[in-house]
Structure 1
Amino acid sequence: MIAEKPALTILLCSPRGFCAGVVRAIDAVEQALKIYGPPVYVRHEIVHNKYVVENLKSKGAIFVEELDEVPETRAPVIFSAHGVAKSVPSAAASRNLFAIDATCPLVTKVHREAEIHHKRGREIVLVGHRGHPEVIGTMGQLPDGAVSLIETVADVAAFTPSNPDALAYVTQTTLSVDDTRDIVEALKVRFPSIVGPHKEDICYATTNRQEAVKAVAPRVEAFIVVGAPNSSNSQRLREVAERSGCLISELVQRASDIDWNRFGALKSLGVAAGASAPEILVEEILDAFAERYAITVETVSTADESVFFPLPKDLRENDMRKIAEDVAR
């Protein structure tokens, strides 16, 4: 006699998964492959997800960390959604590489804000995580020393600006909303004249996904965030779930990564996906639980998303013929 599966209620967060910037970046690589054929070179992971990267590799994309890994070529070289320092497109231009910038427009917004503040004589404070590609790219928009990185409230207390009355702050787009709020408040208390962005830098997708996790986490025994370990927004979702009262909170890339010793005896589970995680991986996780449980899936929605970003100009349909002719010359 086959044992009856235990019941499991899964609360599925919405919004989840791909944001408009990620869709644009992936589409940029696929469109470049369609127009020019392989290979298409991509500097850094186009988005932080192994499944996405491997899928694009299978179609002819070649991923490199630095431009010096790209041979002399007329093939497109695409910059990732995280953005790059100004030195990168300059280096590409010096080699006459056909560079296409797939930086998320919301990251570009932060770059432009930092440049404007610098032109107005302000020292820039960047709230973010050291070593993250987006932070490296943002700091690389300005001369060395023009941007100071702040990671924690403790860093605010230790920070000594050149002129406390001429400060501005910008933030990485994929941070914890709550952590960033605490850091910004500390900056404002210590430096009352500090200037902030007209509109919050943390992107809509980061905020929406964190709000969905906050709504679900207190209602479940365990939580899975589908995403990569090097994905900042995915890591923040796991932290948000834990802080919201769900002590079993794990970041999982694939169903094969699930530790069934931790997730083996449940009645309720929350599932979310980082902004660079495709829906097919969410479905894979749900299928893995369906093999072990009689699952009931309930979607918990906290926001509707309709944001769309057009492809980089060099890849838009009405520009394709002219670009292809130019490259062929």
Structure 2
Amino acid sequence: MSGRRGGDRPPAHRRWLSAHGRACFEALGRLWRQPLASLLSTAVLGITLALPTALHVLISNLGAVGSDWQHGARITVFVRDDVADAALGEWAAALRSRPDVHRVETLTRAQALAEFKAYSGLGEAVAMLPDNPLPATLIVTPATGLGTAGVEDLRLALEKQEATEEVLLDMQWLERLSALLRLLEQTVGLFALTLAAAVLVIVGNTIRLDVAARREEIEVMKLIGAPDRFIQRPFLYSGFWHGLIGGLLALVLVGVALLLLQTPVERLASSYGSDFTLTGPGAPAVLAVLLGGCTLGLLGAWGAVLRQLRTVEPA
């Protein structure tokens, strides 16, 4: 009879999974039965995790804006006077086939002179000149996503051409934007570390109060010989749920903020002739927020339980 009972006993891995599953859902049920306290703690966690997430989204959108502006940046190539219009067209066609070039516009010497007469108001004075003083021009738009270094490489390649007289490109604002984005990324990293420490403190304090509230229950479990890992298990899962729900709340807050800002940003972008729209966090960022929340919740709970259990001994 005892042999059959031993044979009916489930395998060790199933018992382990069953124990952890029971502790996991019991921790979730405890949070559900204390809605006000759970809401307050998870709200604080959500706001704390939402701050670095929102800054990450801001930097991503600023990078997209920079890429859009870079797409609008143009390299002006002044061509030597001895280059014929036919050669200018062939050069433009060759440039259009380059992968780092989005668009090439040509302006012959005659077209440049006609535009100058039309828009400068000095048509009569220009007509008195013996020769056309204006050079032919190529206006080259770099490919999207080329980057500051790629645009500079394209400028140097155009500058080395035999037909080139001079190349103009204002890179200073692109370099400033790139430096600003790098500074913001480093700032967000430091800010995230600071807020991660805050999350550990918040979760640890919440679990500490939970341990204190269940002190008598823990004393009874220790009295009957329950191991520390068994006692710690529900508190660790409680920290896990706090971190997960806080991460979900952070994503919701960021999503609501993006929805509220979407229309004003689109109106502002359209006033500059751009179709830019805000984008939310991608799948890697969402996964990082959720995993980060769960990890910080577990670590905070583990530290708090480890300290508190040392002070709880059966009378």
User: What is the TM-score of this pair, normalised by structure 1?
Assistant: 0.21
User: What is the TM-score of this pair, normalised by structure 2?
Assistant: 0.22
Q: Which has the larger radius of gyration?
A: 2
